[in-house]
Structure 1
Amino acid sequence: VNAPVLVYLHGGRFVSGRKSREALPVLHRLARQGWLCVSANYRLSPDAVFPGHLVDLKKVIAWVREEGHAYGADPSTVFVAGSSAGGHLASFAGLTPGDPVYQPGFESVDTSVTGVISLYGWYGDVNAGEQVASSPHDVLREDAPPFFVTHGDRDSLVHVEGARLFVRRLREVSRRPVVYAELPGAHHAFDLLHSLRCEAVVDGIESFAAWVRARSEG
């Protein structure tokens, strides 16, 4: 079938959340369009500390690349997405393809992605006393994949200034497109329920993914 793949990571401040709650409008829309959507759980704190959460995501990406063909996937077209803490992990994974620091035991596996989608993401450090970089700001690179970043300007949990700063710094470094959609009046977790605003975001994500795929195939 060679279906494109979306790997999605939920939010929850790295301490809570589950794969069946968030971003359902995005997952359902893309699945109807023929995508293979993988909504994954990951170990939560305090049972795991960073980069354990990221290692789990990279294992999912590695699994899709190695085993996805058995489910009709095109393992060369993998987008990674996430909400809140999941946006942090998706962004970090997109910026550290094949980095052995974050791939213990599978250092040689290709974990690169076609594009990154971050919904109301957190882009700061993860306070776990870790000795490795834990903010996406620390791993910006000029060959970063295309990014789609969206955030509500009324978000009181993860303030919009963080998204603005991340987008600005990423655009200064990356040679690839960084799309930013700021949503007037939107709060945190705007993708939990269907709404006109959420549908507009899904439209944007679908257009972004189609554009990235067309460029990569061309």
Structure 2
Amino acid sequence: MPLDEQAETILRGLNDNFPRVETMTGAQARAATKAGRKAVVDAEPVGAVQDREIPGGAGPIGVRIYSPVARPAESLPVVVFFHGGGFVICDLDSHDGFCRAMCTGTGAVVVSVDYRLAPEARWPAAADDAYAATCWVAQHAHEFGGDPDRLLVAGDSSGGNLAAVAALMARDRGAPAVAGQLLIYPVIEPVFDTESYEEFAEDHFLTRAAMQWYWDQYLPDHRDAVPVYAAPVRAEDLGGLPPAVVITAERDPLRYEGEKYAAALADAGVPVHCRRVAGMFHGFLTIDAMTAAQTERRELWPRLRDLMAERAGTPSN
């Protein structure tokens, strides 16, 4: 499906202005992307936003906790969110708008995690931080009005990888209980010759060269061996994982691996809803100004509310 007019305009701007990260160091890529970030005007209001540090295995981990405006007497579902950025770039601020929208749209507390970035902290640093943060949220959810029995993990791109890995670690280690996982055009494994990579290697914002560079920063020896907690689709058994919502974009080099993981989960008996968004490119869902992003969010939020309600055994509104 061709891009609509707005998406084509935005994609052209991204192709022209997003830095060629593969020519940079990690620090340079972070500086370049921050310099190109537009100041947020009229951020979507939520009930409360709190920045704090939580303990991690290698030191404190920053988190940002979003609480919805409406605070019922009972505790709320909690979403632990991991931002994208190839394990190298982006931060709490880059995904602030999306986390606010998720908080309002689902009525859940959203905890966004500022995990360690590569190449300064290579694998398994981000994966370990993701799991540590998920454990902390489960243990401390009541402190901010959350219900640990309705805990979801979520992320976009590399954050989708971390959400999938956190769910896998939680299953393997017996805790915490994860009610569901939202994987938005996730990074799943370092394979760069798939059908979608061949078709969209260039000119669609995320390029094959950039993804190869991101993997080189995160897991330099990925050409020799890839651990399961870096590429979750390579786990011998995916059974017993929490229900998943997987969102892919038609014009995204990562489309094939996201859909491959969704199919593998389904084959293992995991309830999966996999939706390919026609005519869209990688990263579209977190672009607040895009009409297509707003449309897809209106489809996504009720699905997540249903997933949270199913865990609690009560109908959603």
- Fold-level match, TM-score > 0.5? yes
CA distance in 1, matches of 2:254, 2:172: 29
Give 1:6's match in structure 2, choosing from 48, 73, 79.
79
Which residue is equivalent to 2:234?
Answer: 138
CA deviation profile, 1:68-105 (whole Å, cap 9, x unmatched): 211111122111111110011111111221545xxxxx
TM-score computed with the length of structure 1 as normaliser: 0.85
1:12-161 mapped onto 2 (5 Å cutoff):
12-22=85-95, 24-25=97-98, 27-31=100-104, 33-97=106-170, 99=172, 110-125=175-190, 127-129=219-221, 132-133=227-228, 134-139=230-235, 140-155=237-252, 158-161=253-256
Distance change >3 Å, CA 185–CA 26, structure 1 → 2: farther
Q: Provide the C-alpha distance between the structure 2 equivalents of 1:171 and 1:85, rounded to a whole number of angstroms.
A: 21
* Aligned 8 A contact 1:25 1:202 in 2: no
Paired letter, 1:149? V
Once the two structures are TM-superposed, the CA of residue 131 in structure 1 deviates from its matched residue by 7.2
2:279 & 2:77 partners in 1: Cα distance? 32
Determine helix, strand or coil for the equivalent of 1:213: helix
The residue matched to 2:280 in structure 1 has which SS?
coil
Give the Å deviation of 1:8: 0.9
Per-residue deviation, 1:116: 0.6
Pairwise CA distance, 1:191: 2.3
Q: Cα–Cα, structure 1 residues 99 and 184, in superposed 2: closer, same or farther, change >3 Å?
A: same
What SS is found at the alignment partner of 2:281?
Answer: coil
> Is the Cα–Cα contact under 8 Å of residues 21 and 192 in structure 1 kept in the other structure?
no
Shift of 1:32: 5.7
Matched, 1:187 2:288: no
User: Residue 27 of structure 1: CA displacement?
Assistant: 3.5
**Where do 5+ consecutive residues of structure 1 fail to align?**
101-107
- Which residue matches 1:103? none
Partner residue in 2 for 1:169: 264
Provide the C-alpha distance between the structure 2 equivalents of 1:183 and 1:214, rounded to a whole number of angstroms.
25
Unmatched segments (≥5 aa) in structure 2: 1-73, 191-214
Amino acid at match of 1:152: A
RMSD between superposed Cα atoms in Å: 2.1
After TM superposition, the structure 1 stretch with the greater mean CA deviation from structure 2, 41-50 or 26-35, is 26-35
- Report the identity percentage: 25
* Change in CA separation of 1:189 and 1:31 when aligned onto 2, cut-off 3 Å: same
Q: Which has the larger radius of gyration?
A: 2
CA distance in 2, matches of 1:41, 1:201: 25
Aligned equivalent of 1:212: 307
Whole-angstrom distance in 1 between the partners of 2:105 and 2:309: 19
Question: Structure 1 counterpart of 2:254, which letter?
Answer: H
Distance across 2 between alignment mates of 1:76 and 1:84: 26
| Aligned-partner Cα distance in 1 for 2:189–2:226 | 15
